[in-house]
């Protein structure tokens, strides 16, 4: 065992840690030394979004001690920024230990003299964002690992606008957390009277907000019998999504019963992510059996939504996040214009790895479209910057997240489900489907096709391997990809764009982020981005061409799919 690792282990064995923790360390010493080394070789990093990691004993694990120390650092920072009474909101999802972590978080905040609004039971993450804004809190925390596997848990930290931390607060909180060197630095108890349990009264306010986002409530009423299949994938969506659909007028909602009970073991899925076909397979089967109009699934903390629809052959398919986003963006732009409620200063926001088709739709409809770094905190930050000048309508990203309206500041699958069902109802009212609308948009604006490859590098060497891959692309960018010249290299870490042909440069006016994009002469784009929450590197592919008519869809899609496959093979990412 390396000396630095052994020192940390000894600190836990000799420090103020409970007997079960110490016994667990000794068991690993005798039976699983490699597991013990991985558990202590570093401190679980409090990143710009908070904590996320495998649950267990050790400095590199999610446990009551790492959660308590993180909360003490965050509490110290809040007290340095605000005077007078400080309040926070705390929520959690369905994951194993999430309630325990939420209560520890609440207790530490309260012991530091901070008032806490603690949800009585599991709740979707977007409701926490809403709650922070409603109670004028200075911050908040939700205990969740979003869509990660069951072994994980996490801790997302929020600021007073209801958004996750952005500069300078993200880095400043990290510094304060790093100052907490021992569990003895944590105030674990003593302020319990400052904790206020909340529940239905906030649910009702949030659900009223969701209902208010509807553009065509009359269409929802006319199509109240829209056949909807919904799965919360064992998560917190069960707390609000069925009620939200009911309030919006939909009364033909079929639950996926096998996945309707909250369960942190996620017994019916390998990976509780609605992006995965396997995760949505039970729902797809039920939707097919019922001949439903639409299938929707939310992840454990109900901030991401997966959508199933029937294609032009009557086959059930899952839309990717880009398709869902472009349909939702277009609906909010198009419907608001048709209803006469669009404003001259309307704006929409997407991320740099989300389909550029949204930019085209916005431009041709006279709506400002802004691109930000990956993460809804950046969408929220831009809303805050422009809220006195421009009217925010919708934001989203390719990873199955949408944020509709300006009363929350994080992605929200609850409101996304209701708007997506309204969109399906709107098309059905015209004797059409969402897939018909999708193809119409491709004909009108161009056929954009996207794909994603994720490569996981686990263990102590994973981060170094991912860093080496990025440096290789950064230092030796390809001149051509799939026979097409690379027009530009966009390096968001260096905040620098480079014209490959003549070597000229320009500044990228976004915060630094370890993302590279290759823009090809024909408008295709390949992006590489290490994940900020998992040991992964993600590659995003976007290609496009014109679509002459709806009948040419299948043949054109095959051409675009073949092109993406060639690019993936050429880059050695298969």
Active site residues: 146
The conformation of residue 531, written as its DSSP 8-state character, comes to: -
Are β-strands 346-351 and 368-372 bridged in parallel, bridged antiparallel, or unpaired? parallel
Cβ density class 446-484: b for 16+ within 10 Å, e for less: bbbbbbbbeeebeeeeeeeebeebbeebeeebbeebbee
DSSP string, 316-366: EEEPPHHHHHHHHHHHHHHHHHHHT---TTEEEEEETTS-THHHHHHHHTT
DSSP string, 373-425: -SSHHHHHHHHHHHTTTSEEEEEEETTTEEEESSS-SS--HHHHHHHHHHHHH
Instruction: Tell me which residue of 307, 304, 270 sits closest to 287, measured CA to CA.
Output: 307
Residue with tokens 């590199």: 60
Counting Cβ atoms within 10 Å, is residue 292 exposed (0-12), middle (13-18) or buried (19+)? buried
Residues 6+ apart with CB under 8 A from 98: 92, 122, 143, 144, 153, 264
**CA 220 and chain centroid, separation:** 27
- Please state, in angstroms and rounded to a whole number, the distance separating the CA atoms of residues 398 and 112: 39
* Strand ranges across the sheet with 115-119: 50-54, 152-159, 139-143, 87-92, 115-119, 195-198
Q: Which H or E element spans position 90? A: strand 87-92
């Amino acid at each position: 065992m390396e000396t630095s690792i052994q020192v940390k282990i000894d600190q836990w064995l000799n420090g103020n840690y409970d007997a079960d923790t110490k016994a667990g360390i000794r068991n690993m010493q005798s039976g699983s030394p490699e597991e013990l080394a991985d558990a202590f070789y570093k401190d679980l990093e409090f990143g710009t979004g908070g904590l996320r990691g495998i649950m267990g004993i050790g400095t590199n694990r999610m446990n009551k001690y790492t959660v308590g120390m993180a909360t003490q650092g965050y509490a110290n920072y809040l007290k340095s920024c605000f005077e007078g009474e400080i309040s926070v909101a705390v929520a959690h999802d369905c994951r194993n230990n999430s309630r325990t972590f939420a209560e520890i978080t609440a207790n530490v905040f309260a012991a530091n003299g901070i008032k806490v609004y603690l949800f009585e039971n599991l709740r979707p993450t977007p409701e926490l964002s809403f709650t922070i804004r409603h109670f004028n809190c200075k911050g908040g925390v939700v205990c969740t690992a979003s869509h990660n596997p069951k072994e994980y848990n996490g801790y997302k930290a929020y600021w007073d606008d209801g958004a996750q931390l952005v500069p300078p607060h993200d880095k400043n909180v990290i510094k304060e957390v790093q100052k907490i060197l021992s569990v003895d630095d944590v105030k674990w108890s003593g302020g319990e009277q400052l904790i206020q349990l909340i529940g239905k009264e906030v649910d009702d306010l949030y659900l009223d907000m969701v209902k208010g986002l509807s553009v065509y409530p009359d269409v929802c009423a006319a199509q109240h019998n829209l056949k909807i299949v919904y799965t919360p994938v064992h998560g917190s969506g069960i707390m609000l999504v069925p009620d939200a659909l009911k309030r919006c007028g939909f009364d033909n909602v079929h639950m996926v019963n096998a996945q309707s009970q909250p369960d942190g073991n996620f017994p019916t899925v390998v990976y509780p992510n609605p992006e995965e076909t396997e995760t949505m397979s039970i729902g797809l089967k039920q939707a097919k059996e019922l001949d439903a109009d639409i299938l929707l699934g939310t992840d454990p903390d109900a901030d991401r939504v997966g959508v199933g629809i029937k294609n032009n052959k009557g086959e059930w398919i899952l839309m990717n996040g880009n398709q869902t986003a472009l349909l939702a963006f277009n609906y909010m732009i198009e419907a608001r214009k048709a209803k006469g409620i669009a404003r001259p200063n309307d704006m929409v926001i997407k991320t740099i790895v989300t389909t550029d088709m949204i930019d085209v739709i916005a431009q041709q409809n006279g709506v400002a479209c802004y691109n930000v770094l990956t993460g809804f905190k950046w969408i929220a930050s831009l809303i805050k910057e422009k809220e006195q000048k421009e009217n925010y309508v919708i934001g989203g990203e390719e990873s199955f997240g949408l944020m509709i309206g300006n009363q929350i500041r994080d992605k929200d699958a609850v409101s996304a489900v209701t708007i997506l069902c309204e969109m399906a109802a709107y098309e059905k009212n015209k004797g059409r489907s969402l897939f018909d609308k999708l193809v119409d948009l491709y004909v009108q604006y161009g056929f954009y096709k996207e794909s994603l490859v994720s490569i996981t590098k686990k263990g102590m060497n994973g981060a170094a391997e991912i860093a080496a891959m990025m440096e290789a692309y950064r230092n030796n960018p390809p001149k051509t990809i799939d026979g097409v010249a690379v027009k530009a290299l966009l390096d968001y870490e260096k905040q620098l764009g480079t014209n490959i042909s003549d070597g000229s440069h320009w500044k990228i006016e976004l915060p630094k982020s370890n993302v590279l994009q290759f823009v090809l002469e024909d408008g295709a784009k390949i992006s590489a981005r290490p994940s900020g929450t998992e040991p992964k590197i993600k590659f995003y592919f976007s290609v496009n061409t014109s679509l002459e008519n709806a009948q040419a869809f299948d043949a054109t899609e095959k051409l675009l799919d073949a092109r993406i496959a060639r690019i993936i093979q050429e880059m050695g990412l298969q």
